[in-house]
Chain A
Amino acid sequence: MSAIVPGKSTGPQLPARYTNLDSAHSAHGSRIHAFGPALMQGDPLADALVEYFASRPLGGGRKQLEQALDHGIESVRNPHPTLAALFAQLDHVPLWVDFEQLDLGGSVYLRLGPLGQLALGCAALPLAYGSPAGVVPLVFTGRLTQRAFRRLIETTQFVFLTCKPGGLRRQGEGFKTTVRVRLMHAQIRRLLRQSPKWDAQAWGVPIPQADLAGTSLSFSVVVLESLRRLGCSFSARESEAVMHLWRYSGYLIGLEPQLACATEAEAMRMGDLIAMTQGPPNADCVALTQALMNVTMHMAQTPAQRKAAQQWCKFLNGLTRYFIGAERADALQLPNTRLRFALYPMRLTVMFFEVLRRVIPGVNALAVRVGAKTWSKSIEIGLAGVKVSYELPEHPAARSTP
């Protein structure tokens, strides 16, 4: 029996999803008390705004939001206090934000091209899906596995827009998309709170601050670490820039400043705390991860394509196992395929190109251009002409570093 019981360890009642606290306390000390309340906290500014929007006629809230996003809050006639308050926070650029550093972080992501997408799909998302409480909002959709492909593409699009040069500047598409996703999170929170099936004692607040923090780690330190294991190398300045990019993205998406990690070391610590306290994966986690691994089957049309897709799925399984470790892979029931051995020549190839990129002038810039095109092309193929609506974009509630 745990000596540290949710609800007794700190002031507010903590949800049952916050587990294994004795071990976590041994490793992280009083940090677990500081982190616990983040499971009970949503995003007050966005939550208040969606409450107001719910009272508006259909389409009215969206119209005001887009008006404020495209033309500034000052262009909205008599803005409601909740809208004004949210945009006051969004329009305020914290002192620590360095837009050049944001662009550098974005360019690091872009140059990685398909490797970055592999890191997202085979490390960031599987780790996110390993959290039984974190996947509950997805379970509530009732189409846990059917939307896997769509979620992956929309997540890819979200990351791409964030990383484009100037993406998080006020008029950047990354900025606007991030705000939309923030309000979508708030709306999901609102819908789930209205469901009698939402068990607040077990799961806390839907999409809490803790999960937003996990998301930020997924896109930053998880991707960096995974790609290092694949042979990529990052200078200290580059990795710092990636952390900076996702720290500001976190600010825009409503993450409380005390949960936004500025350095990889901080992020690793928080990731470990999250991993220790989230509990083992359940059947939903397994279903969600396996649906993710099989997304390429979705695109296969002919028998030959299906056969190739099957091989690709095996490779993805192997890569995921490599990224997240055998223990987590087993818990998510990922098969241990022989195609994992393809990773070694792949790693060597990546390392070779990394050397070329560093020593030959102009190759880095070329890599950024080619990588950006790859991201763009993947999204275009994935969406197949369908406009992104951000119906339920994946903002993975990742909890851990590999």
Chain B
Amino acid sequence: MKPELLALLTDEDWRLMSERATRRTFEKDGVALQEGTESRNLFFLQSGYVQVVRNFHGLRLTVTRLGPGEVFGEMSFLERAPAMASIIADGPAQVLILPEQEIESLLRSVPGLASRLYQSLAVTLSRRLRRIGDTGDESIGSTRTARTGFATERQLPPGLAQAVDGIKQGLQQIERQLRSHGLALEQAAAGVAGACDQICATLERFTRDDVVVDAGMADLLSFRDTGAVRAGIGAYIFRETFSVLMTSALVSRTFAMPRGFPDDWESIAAIHASEPAGDGQLGPLVDRWFLQRPLCRARRASAAAVGSLLSSLLGDGPAAVTCLAAGSCHEILELLGGTQGDGVTATCVDLDQGALLAAAERAEDLGLSDRISFQLGNVVPADNGEQLLLPPQRAIFAVGLLEYLGDEAALRLLDWTHRQLQPGGTAIFTNLAEGNTDALFMEYLLERKVRHRSAEALSELFRRSSFGGATVTAEAGGADLLALATRA
């Protein structure tokens, strides 16, 4: 079978190359090419899957997976440099290996082969680059916009400044009392939680449709739309409360997105650990408040629900499961570390190399390294069709991913998921619900652009996908939805 990526070669070229190639079969975990070794061979994957694995201080990270028809070893061949990654079989894999001497001999004897081969390899590399560079029309990582220039001073609704000042004064008073030991910690925590709840309530009160229309009318010749005025009101509350909210470790981290992604693995780990931290007198108390907000509760509840579903779905038998946008890989590590799931192997996919390395380290500590592979990559198939490859999976899930994708990107992801599942395999996805009472807090104070979906909208998304439908349920707090779909 001529590799698809070498389409520029003629059938005769391929026949000559095949005749001179060695055919080898690798069993699971068999090493076809070792990182750092000098190899000038070209490898053609005939059947099965292989992982391209890089070693980071002893921790293995899968950079990508290759499937039938793919070529590897081409970079070492072209650069005459040691292999940058190991190629390890994901299961039984048949590979044609064309030694350098044979290639050189053919290039010299077959007219035009050199240009056809090098052009084909260039196309291969170009596609790989595109796979890395093109994350589709939706990028999960986000950039911040300036928080000024949305509304004029006159468009700030009457009572807004007073309401915000009242909250700030209340918090300052608590801080003073804490410093002078005039307030018990629990009383202070209740006071801070009340004040922070007031921030959310103020945000809700002053961004209501009628208030925003009224505010827009207060300065008509500024020509601001309701969306801009609402953003201006949100920006005002953001600026005024920033110094207090950012004393919370988790709020600060969620806002700052130090990894370049929302819901990065350390934030999720902090939500699961639920141990308040922060700076100054108020920081830990603000953190404690945030950890009990619907958003954090929903993240914990959904992770637990997904874990429970996986346990019942997978049982003890051999099964492959993949976690998308895995982050801290909390659910997988819980699953594999539990009493059930002895025969389960897992793949954790994430864009964040740091997250995967941290999870790999934890897996090693738990003695689970041989059952989990960590794959670096974007799970959302790109517009150009480039996508990750997985061996057939029994289950694929993602907690807190769909809400960062628009409908089109979400559909591509669902269709891709459908293709990666074995018949009867199950997909589990969560999506923040329209009823999430932290939606405004997330949008205006944490700068998180999230697509909250209704149960109907989420069902409709699955209906439009290859799955043709899903069972959608809401977590107890109503802030998150869980969709369960099966490949027929």
Contact = CB atoms under 8 A, between A and B. Distances in A.
B226 A194 contact: yes
Interface string A350-391: 000000000000000000000000000000000000000111
A140 B213 contact: yes
Interface residues of B, number: 23
B224 interface: yes
A192 B224 contact: no
B217 A54 contact: no
Given A140-B214, A195-B209, A188 B220 contact: yes
A197 interface: yes
Contact of A194 (B213, B220, B223): B213
Contacts of B225: 54, 190-191, 194
Contact of B220 (A140, A143, A195, A392): A392
Contacts of A11: none
Interface string A88-116: 00000000000000000000000000000
Contacts of A184: 220-221
Interface stretch (A59-67, A215-223, A276-284): A59-67
Nearest to B218: A391
A183 interface: yes
B246 interface: no
B210 A142 contact: yes
A188 B219 contact: no
Contact of B221 (A65, A140, A141, A197): A65
B55 interface: no
B220 A390 contact: yes
A170 interface: no
A389 B220 CA distance: 9
B308 to A, nearest CB: 39
A192 B214 CA distance: 10
Interface string B204-232: 00000111011011111111111110000
Contacts of A285: none
B340 interface: no
Interface stretch (B16-24, B150-158, B277-285): B150-158
A18 to B, nearest CB: 24
A136 to B, nearest CB: 12
Contact of A195 (B150, B213, B222): B213
A195 B226 contact: yes
B210 A56 contact: no
Given A61-B223, A62-B222, A188 B217 contact: yes
A187 B221 contact: yes
B214 A143 contact: yes
B154 A389 contact: yes
Contacts of A188: 217, 220
B260 interface: no
B149 interface: yes
A58 B150 contact: yes
Contacts of A180: 221
B223 A187 contact: yes
Interface in B220-251: 220-228
Interface in B144-201: 149-152, 154
Contacts of B221: 61-62, 65, 180, 183-184, 187, 389-390
A192 B220 CA distance: 12
A83 to B, nearest CB: 12
Given A195-B209, A391-B218, 17 more contacts: A50-B223, A54-B224, A57-B149, A58-B149, A58-B222, A62-B221, A140-B214, A140-B217, A184-B220, A188-B220, A191-B213, A197-B210, A389-B154, A389-B219, A391-B220, A392-B217, A392-B218
Interface of B: 149-152, 154, 209-211, 213-214, 216-228
Interface of A: 50, 53-54, 56-59, 61-62, 65, 140-143, 180, 183-184, 187-188, 190-192, 194-197, 389-392
21 contacts: A54-B224, A58-B222, A58-B228, A140-B210, A140-B213, A141-B213, A141-B217, A142-B211, A180-B221, A183-B223, A184-B220, A184-B221, A187-B221, A194-B213, A194-B226, A195-B213, A197-B210, A389-B221, A390-B220, A392-B218, A392-B220
